[in-house]
Amino acid sequence: MLDQEICNSTCGSRRFSHGITYQKLCFLLFLKRAVDSGCPFHSGIEINSVTGFDDIVFRYEQSGKIIHRFIQIKHKRNRSEKVSIGDLLTRKKKSEFGLIKYFIAHLKIESGKKFLSKDPRYFIIATNIDFENSPMQGRKRKLRAMLSGKNKGKEISVRKINTKKNEFLNICGSTRYKLDSSIILYLQENMDFISAQVGKKIGDKEIKGFLNKLVFTVNLPNKAELYEIIKDELGKGLNNIDKKNFLSRCLVEITNLMDEEKGRVLSREKWQALLERIEEEIQEKSVEFNVINEVKNFYGRSRELGDLHCALQKNTKEEPWIIVIGGIRGVGKTECARKYVHDYKKDYDKNVIWINACDYKTMENSFMELAQNRLEISIKDKYEENKKIKEIVEEVYAFFVKRRCIFIFDNAKRYEDISEFLSPFSYSQYPDGKRPYILITSYDEEWKVTKSAEKIKVIWLNELERTEAFELVRKALDIQDDEQDEEIDKLTRKLQHFPLALGQAVSYICNKDGELKLIGHENFTISNYLEKCNQQAKKKELFKEVEELLKQLSCDSEEEKDKNNTILYTKAVLTTLSIAIEDIIQEECGSEALNILEIMAYLASNDIYIKEIFVKLVADNERKLWDAVKLLNRYHIINLKAGIANIHELVQMLTRLCEQNFVVKE
C-alpha cells in the first residue's frame, strides 16, 4: 500500500531549483483541496519507488475503488517556451517531457510489487507552459510539425478532456489533454530500446495502456500566480499577514518531509490536524501598536485596575463593551491604562492597539498606519484610489476577528468623535468571532449621559489615596526608613495627592539631589522642595489667572466640588511646573528647551517628532537640540522615547498661560 511504501522514499536532495518550490506549492494546493473534500486519502511527495512520477502521489477512495495519481511537475521560468514534438519524442534521460522516459517509468511502476491491484492508476505530467502553437480543431489539437531534424514531418495530436469543476487537481486557466493514437507509431519505433530498459518484451497493449492512463496538464499558473491562488485557498477567513505566514509555515513542513532520510505519508486526518495546528500557531502571534512601556513610578490604583479588568471581562452581548477611564486632566488616566495593558495584556493574547484619540485626523492617520505598516492591509482599492477610512477601519477589526484584542482610545473627547473608529463587529456577521475589547481614556464627564450609555461603563479616577501618594513618593525617591515620613506627608498634601504634580516633584528632587552629590554638596531634600513650593505660592496673580481660566472652561453640569478640585489640582501642577522651568532656564540649553516647550504647547499632545519639527530651531545644531529636549524629559515635563515626545495637555495649557503672562521669560 502507498502509506507503507512511501517509507522507502528518498528526499528531495537530488535536485534543487525553482521547480522544487513550484512542486511544493502544487502539492500544498492539491493537499488543502483534498482535505477540504472530506474524502479519505493518503499523500506523499518525492517517492523513490515511483521514480519518474514521484513528485506528488495521491491515493484515495472513490466509488469503492482505490485510485492512485502519480504527478510529475515541470516548471519553466520562461513561459514562452513550448512543448514540441521533439521534446516528446526524445530518448534523453534528462528530458522534461520525453514520452519514452515516462513510458519506461510507467512500466516499472506498473510491474512493481506495490501496485499489482486492478485499481485505477493515472499518470499526470503537469507544466506551466503550453504545447507548440497549433490551432484547435474541435476538441483535437495538432502539434506544429518540425521542419528539420530526425523528427521532420512527424505529426502528433492531443485531445482535450473535460475536468470536473470540483476536481481537486483542477487549477484555473489550465487545460488537460490526452495523446491520441498518432503517437503509437513513434513509440513502436523505440520498442526494442524500451524493452531493454524494463527487461521484458513490450507490445502495443502496453503502449495503449500507457496512453490511456497518461494525462498532460498544460498552462498551469506561473509561480507568482500559483502563490496567490494557494494563499487565498489556504487562508480562507484569515487576514493577509496570517495568510502569508500560514503558507510559509506549510512550505516549511513540506520541506521537512522532503529533507527527511525516509519519506513519510500522512492520512487526511493527520494532514488536517497539521494544517489546523499551523493556523492556531499563526493566530497566536501578537500585534502591539503604539504601546508605550509602563510608566515609571506607578503606584496604587489597585482597586481601580481590578474594577477595570472585571468590567472589561464582562464583554458579552448583554454587558457594556466600552469602558471609559474618566477623570480630570493629570489624574493619571493614560498611566492607568498603560499599567492595565502592562499587567493584563496576556488576557488579550498580547494584541494591544493604542490609538491617540485627541482628534479625528490623528485617529485616521493611526488606523492607516496600523493597516498599512503593521497589518499589511492596503489603503488603496483595486483602482489604486484611496480607500475610505470606514473601509480601512472595518478591515482592521476584521484582521482581529479570530483573536482576542484590546483597543485603547487615549484622550478621547466624546463618543461621537470616535464612533466612526469603533468596531462594527456583528455576531451575525462573525458568529464564531471574538468581539474586540474597547478601553477609552477621557476627561469629559459627558460620557456619563451619552445616548450610547447602555454600551458604556465609566470608571472615574480621583486623586490618589493618601497612602498611595505616600508610597509613590517614598519608592520614587528610594527612601528606606521612616525619618522623612512627615516631609513626605506634607509634600503629598501640598500637591493634593495629584499624580502629575507628584511625578514632576519627585523627578525634580531626584535630578537636583544627583547634581548636588556630584559636586560634593549636601543632599537636596523634600524639605528643600517644600520651600520652593512656598516661594511659588507668592505668585498670587498667576494663580488667580489660572483659577479664573478654569472657571471659564468648566461645564455648567460640573458639580461645584469637582470644579474646586480641578482648580486645586491644576494649581499643584502649576507649582511643580514653575519650579522646573525656573531651573531649566539656568541650564546650558535652557532657553532652547523653553522655546521648544512653548512650541509644543500648541501642537497635538502625542507623537511629536522632535527632529522633523525642531531641527531648525537650534540653528541646525542637532546635539544642542537633543540636549534641550532631554532636559525637558529629565524634569518630567515631556515623555521622550525613540525621538518622539508626548506632553500632557494640562502641561500644554499651563505653558500657554505662563507664556502669556511672561512667566517663562522672566
Average pLDDT of 409-428? 84
End-of-domain residue from the set 178, 205, 223: 223
Assigned C-alpha cell, 93: 534521460
Q: Which of 46-50, 427-431, 494-498, 654-658 shows the highest mean pLDDT?
A: 494-498
> Is residue 262 one of the residues assigned to a domain?
no
Q: How far is CA 254 from the centre of its chain?
A: 24
Comparing C-alpha atoms, which of 262, 334, 342, 356 is closest to residue 608?
Answer: 356
- Distance of CA 347 to CAs 160, 326, 354, 427, 431, Å? 57, 23, 16, 21, 21
Are residues 93 and 101 in contact, defined by beta-carbon separation less than 8 angstroms? yes
Same domain, 407 and 478: no
pLDDT at 11 over 50: no
Residues 136 and 195 in one domain: yes
Pair 172, 308 in one domain:
no
CA gap 227, 513 in Å, rounded? 63
Instruction: Give backbone dihedrals phi and psi of 589, rounded to 5 degrees, phi first.
Output: -105, 25
Which of 223, 243, 262 is where one domain is finished? 223
240: in domain: no
Whether 271 is covered by a domain: the verdict is: no
Burial of 431 (0-12, 13-18, 19+ CB in 10 A): exposed
Angle separating helix axes 466-476 and 485-494, nearest 10 degrees: 120
Amino acid identity, position 604:
A
68-111 pLDDT, tens digit each: 899 999 999 888 899 999 899 988 888 899 999 999 999 988 88
Of residues 635, 613, 615, the one with CA closest to residue 623: 615
pLDDT class for 445, splitting at 50, 70, 90?
low
Is 274 inside any structural domain? no
Q: Dig out the grid coordinates for 569 from the structure.
A: 489640582
- Looking at the structure, do residues 487 and 384 belong to the same domain, yes or no? no
Q: Give the best-scoring range by mean pLDDT among 155-159, 375-379, 504-508.
A: 504-508
Identify which of 6, 2, 202 has the alpha carbon closest to the alpha carbon of residue 103: 202
pLDDT band at 555 (very low <50, low <70, confident <90, very high): low
Q: How many domains are there within the chain?
A: 3
Q: Say yes or no: 471 and 422 in one domain.
A: no
Query: Angle at Cα 193 formed by Cα 188 and Cα 195, nearest 5°?
Result: 85
Is residue 464 within 8 A of residue 304, CB to CB? The reply is no
- Which phi and psi angles does 216 have, rounded to 5°? -105, 125
Q: Which domain holds residue 499?
A: 466-663
In a domain, 270, yes or no: no
Give the least confident one: 114-123, 274-283, 462-471: 114-123
Q: pLDDT (tens digit, 9 = 90+) per residue, 368-390?
A: 999 998 888 888 887 788 999 99
Average pLDDT, the chain: 83
Same domain? For 581 and 657 the reply is yes
pLDDT > 70 fraction of the chain, expressed in percent and rounded: 87
For residues 247 and 509, what is the distance between their CA atoms, to the nearest angstrom?
Answer: 56
**Same domain, yes or no, for 471 and 581?**
yes
What pLDDT was estimated at residue 101?
92
Mean predicted confidence (pLDDT) in 243-247:
81
Are 418 and 557 part of one and the same domain?
Answer: no
In a domain, 577, yes or no: yes
Note whether 378 and 497 are same-domain residues.
no
The model's pLDDT over 180-221, given as tens digits with 9 standing for 90+, comes to: 888 888 889 888 998 998 888 988 999 999 999 999 999 999
**With a threshold of 0.85, does the pTM exceed it?**
no
Compute the distance between CA of residue 456 and CA of residue 319 in angstroms, rounded to an integer.
9
In a domain, 279, yes or no: no
Domain boundary among 439, 461, 483: 461
State the pLDDT at residue 578: 92
186 and 122 fall within a common domain? yes
372 and 352 within one domain: yes
CATH code, domain with 382: 3.40.50.300
> What confidence tier does 416 reach under pLDDT thresholds 50, 70, 90?
confident
Q: What is the pLDDT of residue 336?
A: 92
Between residues 229 and 551, the one the model is more confident about: 229
Could you tell me if 486 and 389 lie in one domain? Answer: no
Task: Assess if residue 241 is contained within a domain.
Answer: no
